[in-house]
Structure 1
Amino acid sequence: MTIEEILRLRDQVWDEHPLIIERAVLPTLAAKDVLARVWALGRKGRGSIAFFAQPLSGKSSCAELLFVEMKRKKPGCGVLIFEVVEDTNPAEGRLLSEILNQIDYAPKIARDLAGKRTQVHRALLSLSGEARHLFLIFDEAQELSCDEFAWLKSVINRLVRDRVKVTVVLFGQIELKEKRQQLKAARSDLEKRFMSTLNEFRGIQNAAELEPLLAAIDAGSEFPVGSGMSYLQLLLPRFYEGGGRLVSSSALFWRELKQQRLPGVGTVVAMSSVAGFLASFFIHLRGADSEELKITSELLQKIDVI
């Protein structure tokens, strides 16, 4: 495509671009570590790993990245991101119904417990796909009660008996550490099953950790799907054509971003802050794209985060 054709396409899809609407799923160093750990765990017939994080450090974005990457690395597998909501009076039937709701189960949900168990099993069996491998990702996992962990164990055991690989990934706030202790005290088998491995997931802490994200914008992303163009190539085509790349300015980006650190957690920058700054960066430069464009401290200081 010519530059003029790219610019016309850019104008058509601007309001839908993942970076502009702050919904881009991009890798950080911490997210790439999670991907590697989960992929290695997927070798087993049944496995579980847990991560706790400070608020806004990007765990939900990491869950979305896992969804995309596991689908890409293992075609035919099933991936479910289950958003846990606190239930002050947990019941197995409600948990099973919520699982069915979150996978958009079309048939009418059974009213009796046995019927719901069968429906959940069949639905997850179908979701596991041709690969017979299911990745279950729980966001806000600290909200799961001990009883709910026990019910999930039964669901997983039944799938494993039907020769489905099940890989469980728990993402939670820092309270997940306390939940692990509660499980250990109440049901040590559940602690060993779901949280024998508990790791800390951190947001971006320095320029080196920002580099994978910027490199993905430069060359490891695509929008629109099937266009063959990276995010940068579409949004700043002249800058891209002239050899400009964001990753070469990671130190300059970090100098601005580190001013937005999360309070009380050292140098960690919230992923929402990163997303907001990048969106504002491209909006600011929409009419200033050129092959001579240079990313400087002065330029980045002019970015007014919307």
Structure 2
Amino acid sequence: MQNSSEKKLHTVRPNIPVGGHPIEQGDYLIDTIAINEIADSILKWISFRNPGAIIYGAPRLGKSYAIKYLKRVFDIKYENQWITFVVRTRKMKTPNESRFFEFLLKDVGHELFDKGKADAKRERLVNFFLEKGDGSVRNQVVLFVDDAQRLSSIEFEWLMDIFNELDSYGITLTTILVGQKELSHKRNIYLTTDKQIVGRFMIQENKFYGLREKEELAYLLASYDQISEYPVNSGWSYTRYFFPIGYEQGYRLENETDEIWQSFQMVRSEAGIKRSAEIPMHYMIAIINYVLKKYGANEENVEWPTTSMWREAMIESGYVNAEVIQSSSE
């Protein structure tokens, strides 16, 4: 294949400092079919003012990625209809009320997150949510809690107190718990031991999936070809920027779906992985980034990536090793 340096582009490639593109910085969010399906459910929960629900799935499938993406979408598309926050749990040997509220305050962006004792921090969080909720059209706060399988019963009770106090002032707190399969297992246990927790935070549940079908991969790749763009309003999608000659000649990542999917099947077969394919978003993004960065115009500058390059990326990203480890543990 002819090197792109031997040809000239009809249009000038944007002058972005090496390392400054979102692909190189790892700071970008791309839409997926799985995210859209989850978004539909979450929007219903918000619309019905459900107090809480859970989203669960295996590690590395892209749950954290999804809620970051959805927060950004909600902030733009539903600006001020409700206020959205994303917080993450910390693993603690023993639940500590002061640290619990301190972490929540820190994650929602409160400046005084570490001041005072537990009661003061709790009151500060309530007042913060009251202010934000009261300033929204729907008087509603949506709280995504990442790695929620770590929450203990007492921590759920602390969250319940927050919900009840906000509710007394006419502010709805909708809590979306996001975590691993253990989160669904906890729900089943609480159905017999503590239905109040289920009633507040686990009324609905939805399973999150990785890439399971070629059509899902095609949808993702098309976003790199068309929807992604940097600089803003430049007309240069991520695919076009890293493979400008191939793009100009009509090549698109979406059209490589069959070849890439077949490569996944082959590397899995060679590694002895027999379980059904469900490609975690963490690794899929890493694979695409690897190919764009290493073989794109900023480094090796090939005209268009080959099958061997995709196979190399699947191995170098750690995807194959992760699948082997996961298969051996089942």
TM range, normalised to the smaller chain? Answer: 0.7 to 0.9
1:19 maps to 23
Q: Which amino acid aligns with 1:275?
A: I
Give the TM-score, by structure 2 length. 0.79
Task: Report the alpha carbon displacement of residue 37 of structure 1 after superposing the two structures with TM.
Answer: 0.9
Q: From the superposition, tell whether residues 68 and 228 of structure 1 become closer, same or farther in structure 2 (CA, over 3 Å).
A: farther
How is 1:43-82 mapped onto 2 (pairs within 5 angstroms)? Answer: 43-76=47-80, 77-82=82-87
More off after superposition, 134-143 vs 250-259:
250-259
Cα RMSD of the aligned pairs, angstroms, is 2.8
More off after superposition, 263-272 vs 275-284:
263-272
User: What is the SS of the residue equivalent to 2:87?
Assistant: strand
2:199 matches 1:192: yes
Task: Report the alpha carbon displacement of residue 143 of structure 1 after superposing the two structures with TM.
Answer: 0.3
> Partners of 1:196 and 1:187 in 2: how far apart?
13
> Partners of 2:222 and 2:174 in 1: how far apart?
29
Q: Which amino acid aligns with 1:56?
A: R
> Partners of 1:22 and 1:102 in 2: how far apart?
21
Contact between 2:71 and 2:84, CA under 8 Å: does it hold in 1? Answer: yes
User: What is the SS of the residue equivalent to 1:15?
Assistant: coil
Q: Which amino acid aligns with 1:69?
A: V
1:162 maps to 169
Contact between 2:85 and 2:142, CA under 8 Å: does it hold in 1? Answer: yes
Contact between 2:95 and 2:152, CA under 8 Å: does it hold in 1? Answer: yes
User: What is the SS of the residue equivalent to 1:169?
Assistant: strand
Contact between 1:48 and 1:167, CA under 8 Å: does it hold in 2? Answer: yes
1:243-297 C-alpha deviation (Å, 9 max, x unpaired): 332112212222223436997852112223212211121121325455xx5x654
Structure 1 unmatched runs, 5+: none
1:31-57 C-alpha deviation (Å, 9 max, x unpaired): 211111111221123432212111111
Q: Which amino acid aligns with 2:96?
A: A
Q: Which amino acid aligns with 1:272?
A: H
Structure 2 unmatched runs, 5+: 1-8, 318-330
1:191-233 C-alpha deviation (Å, 9 max, x unpaired): 1221222222111112111122112111222323454532223
Q: From the superposition, tell whether residues 56 and 34 of structure 1 become closer, same or farther in structure 2 (CA, over 3 Å).
A: same
1:151 maps to 158
Equivalent pairs counted in the alignment come to: 299
Which of residues 73, 85, 94 is equivalent to 1:89? Answer: 94
> Partners of 1:193 and 1:211 in 2: how far apart?
38
Q: From the superposition, tell whether residues 182 and 299 of structure 1 become closer, same or farther in structure 2 (CA, over 3 Å).
A: closer
Task: Report the alpha carbon displacement of residue 185 of structure 1 after superposing the two structures with TM.
Answer: 3.1
Contact between 2:163 and 2:172, CA under 8 Å: does it hold in 1? Answer: no
2:115 matches 1:105: no
2:46 maps to 42
Which of residues 184, 189, 195 is equivalent to 1:182? Answer: 189
Q: Which amino acid aligns with 1:163?
A: G
Q: Which amino acid aligns with 1:274?
A: M
Task: Report the alpha carbon displacement of residue 21 of structure 1 after superposing the two structures with TM.
Answer: 4.0
Which of residues 280, 286, 296 is equivalent to 1:285? Answer: 296
> Partners of 2:165 and 2:126 in 1: how far apart?
7
State the identity as a percent.
Answer: 22
Task: Report the alpha carbon displacement of residue 172 of structure 1 after superposing the two structures with TM.
Answer: 0.9
